[in-house]
């Protein structure tokens, strides 16, 4: 039995588990700990426990450091929850991400799988993101050594402290995005303090500055987006004019007026202060327009690797009809279009579908069709009858995976190939188990999109079985 505050001596850290926590065992009780490394010998201090099942602990003392332990680059490591694994060498991170995929498919999916291809690591493990979202707060998180000091202001601009919706870590330097990201963020804060602009109070729902988003592209364009909690024209124009004068690298500058109680801006009007209102990414000669509300994979270089794998798994010859489910802004659809007869994309977000159509138009792609709506409602018998049955289905759902009705529809369609792109191998495994009656997993390729995090992408090729194990259930008629 564990007790809170108990010191567990000379514990051997065994492996990296879910959510970036390492796993060890103490008297047959599983212990999860952060900031430990497989191969460490440590004293652990118990922080939480659940009877005799498992406990959580933090490092009290490192007895012997693992050979896989490295010095974190970021000064905010251990407080900021963004890069929890940067104290572990990158090869070890990749090893455990590969293992995570295998464990999920075998233990959760309980399906027969072929040998998994070696994970595709990121050539750049810092400054790889093209988008960061920062929050303004009137009550920043104070470090322990700051508690006894007097402060002129508690204003902070940075990331939310894990588990604290109303506390923000004031970030001095983030290693996730290339310049001018850090310089812009620091200048916005300095200007705001100089001119007395208020930072948002999330509890009282008041304050002028709410959010700052910086987007960069592989074409060296920069978008800055600011959410204001109050419509103060003079103050808005003052700050934005200062940014344009200070950073000529900013190619487009937009803002939102958000007086709601949440930070979502998909339903808000975009105000373009400078530039065209969008930025552009390039991939294999294609141009992808990224607007303020557009989704684009946040690691551009690895997105290219992911899409090439997806295209290779699809095995296109130019004669295939492809359904691209959860198409987003049509990046995959447009990327593979020149290798297909026709690509039909479906996406829930109507604005994303408009972006997809624009991206087809600016690239002179005329063999794509895009439809907006809930996947389980759009993809029905009438839709399939209206369009040619697909030879290949590509599906790239959100972390929650696919709705059961969508999986039933895929079985009904019976495409010879399904390429399943996932950002969550656990829900992918669940969905593959449901498809296993009719489809065989023939290729598996993990891809690391986010170094120093526990996240891993996985691409799976499913081929239709010659003989079905069980006849599929009929899908409901469209209402």
The Cα 319–Cα 331 span in angstroms is: 20
Q: The domain 131-279 is classified under which CATH number: 2.40.50.1070, 1.10.287.1080, 3.40.50.2300, 1.20.1050.10?
A: 2.40.50.1070
Query: Over the stretch 314-370, which tens digit does the pLDDT of each residue have?
Result: 999 999 999 999 999 999 999 999 999 999 999 998 888 999 999 999 999 999 999
Q: What are phi and psi of 419, to 5 degrees?
A: -105, 115
The Cα 139–Cα 198 span in angstroms is: 11
Contacts of 221 (CB under 8 A, 6+ apart): 251, 252, 279, 280
The Cα 288–Cα 113 span in angstroms is: 35
What one-character-per-residue DSSP string does 4-25 give?
A: TT-EEEEEEP-EE-GGG-EEEE
The Cα 282–Cα 304 span in angstroms is: 10
On the question of a cis peptide bond just before residue 222, with omega within 30 degrees of 0, the verdict is no
476 sits in which H/E element: none
State whether residue 264 is helix, strand or coil.
Answer: coil
CA dist 109 → 116, 445, 459 (Å): 15, 16, 15
Q: 32 with 23: CB under 8 angstroms?
A: yes
Output the pLDDT for position 317: 97
Catalytic residues: 423
Query: Over the stretch 359-403, which tens digit does the pLDDT of each residue have?
Result: 999 999 999 999 999 998 999 989 999 998 999 999 999 999 999
State whether residue 345 is helix, strand or coil.
Answer: strand
Domain 7-69 class? mainly beta
To which residue do tokens 């003052």 refer? 238
**How many Cβ atoms are within 10 Å of 186's Cβ, its own excluded?**
15
Query: Over the stretch 288-310, which tens digit does the pLDDT of each residue have?
Result: 999 999 889 999 999 999 999 99
Question: Taking all residues of the chain, what is their mean pLDDT, rounded to a whole number?
Answer: 93
Checking if the pLDDT of 478 tops 80, the result is no
CA dist 141 → 145, 210, 351 (Å): 12, 16, 36
Query: Could you check whether 7-69 and 93-124+299-464 share the same CATH topology?
Result: no
Checking if the pLDDT of 472 tops 70, the result is no
Q: Could you tell me the residue ranges of all domains in the chain?
A: 7-69, 93-124+299-464, 131-279
Instruction: Look up residue 128 and give its two tokens.
Output: 């790889």
> Whole-structure pTM over 0.75, yes or no?
yes
CA dist 93 → 20, 83, 455 (Å): 10, 12, 10
Q: What is the CATH number of domain 93-124+299-464?
A: 3.40.50.150
């Amino acid at each position: 039995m564990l007790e809170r505050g108990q010191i567990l001596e000379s514990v051997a850290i065994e492996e990296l588990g879910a959510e970036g926590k390492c796993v060890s065992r103490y008297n047959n009780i599983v212990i999860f700990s952060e900031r430990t490394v497989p191969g460490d010998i440590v004293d652990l201090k118990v922080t939480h426990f659940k009877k005799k099942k498992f406990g959580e602990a933090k490092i009290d003392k490192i007895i012997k450091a693992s050979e896989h332990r490295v010095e974190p680059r970021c000064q905010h490591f251990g407080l900021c929850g963004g890069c929890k694994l940067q104290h572990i060498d990158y090869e070890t991170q990749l090893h455990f991400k590969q293992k995570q995929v295998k464990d999920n498919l075998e233990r959760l999916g309980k399906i027969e799988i072929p040998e998994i291809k070696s994970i595709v690591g990121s050539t750049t493990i810092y400054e790889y993101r093209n988008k960061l979202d920062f929050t303004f707060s009137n009550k920043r998180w104070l470090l322990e050594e700051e508690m006894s000091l007097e402060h002129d202001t508690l204003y902070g601009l940075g990331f939310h402290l894990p588990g604290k919706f109303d506390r923000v870590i004031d970030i001095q330097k983030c290693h996730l995005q290339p310049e001018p990201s850090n310089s812009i963020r620091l200048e916005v804060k300095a200007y705001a303090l100089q001119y007395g602009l208020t930072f948002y109070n999330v509890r009282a729902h008041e304050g002028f500055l709410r959010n700052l988003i910086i987007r960069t592209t592989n074409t060296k364009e920069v978008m800055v987006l600011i959410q204001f909690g109050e419509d103060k024209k003079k103050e808005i124009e003052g700050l934005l004019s200062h940014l344009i004068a200070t950073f000529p690298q900013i190619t487009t500058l937009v803002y939102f007026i958000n007086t709601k109680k949440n930070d979502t801006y998909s339903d808000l009007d975009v105000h373009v202060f400078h530039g065209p209102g969008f930025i552009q990414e390039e991939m294999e000669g294609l141009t992808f327009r990224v607007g303020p509300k557009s989704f684009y994979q946040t690691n551009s270089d690895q997105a290219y690797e992911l899409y090439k794998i997806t295209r290779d798994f699809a095995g296109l010859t130019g004669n295939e009809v492809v359904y691209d489910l959860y198409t987003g802004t049509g990046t995959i659809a447009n990327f593979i279009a020149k290798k297909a007869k026709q690509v039909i994309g479906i996406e829930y977000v109507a604005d994303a579908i408009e972006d997809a159509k624009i991206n087809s138009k600016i690239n002179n792609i005329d063999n794509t069709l895009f439809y907006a709506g809930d996947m389980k409602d759009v993809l029905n018998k009438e839709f399939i009858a209206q369009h040619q049955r697909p030879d290949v289905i590509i599906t790239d759902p959100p972390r929650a995976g696919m709705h059961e009705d969508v999986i039933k529809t895929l079985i009904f369609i019976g495409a010879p190939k399904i390429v399943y792109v996932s950002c969550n191998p656990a829900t992918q495994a669940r969905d593959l188990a449901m498809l296993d009656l009719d489809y065989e997993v023939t290729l598996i390729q993990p891809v690391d999109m986010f170094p120093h995090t526990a996240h891993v992408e996985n691409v799976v090729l499913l081929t239709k079985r010659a003989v079905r194990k069980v006849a599929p259930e009929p899908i409901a008629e469209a209402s």
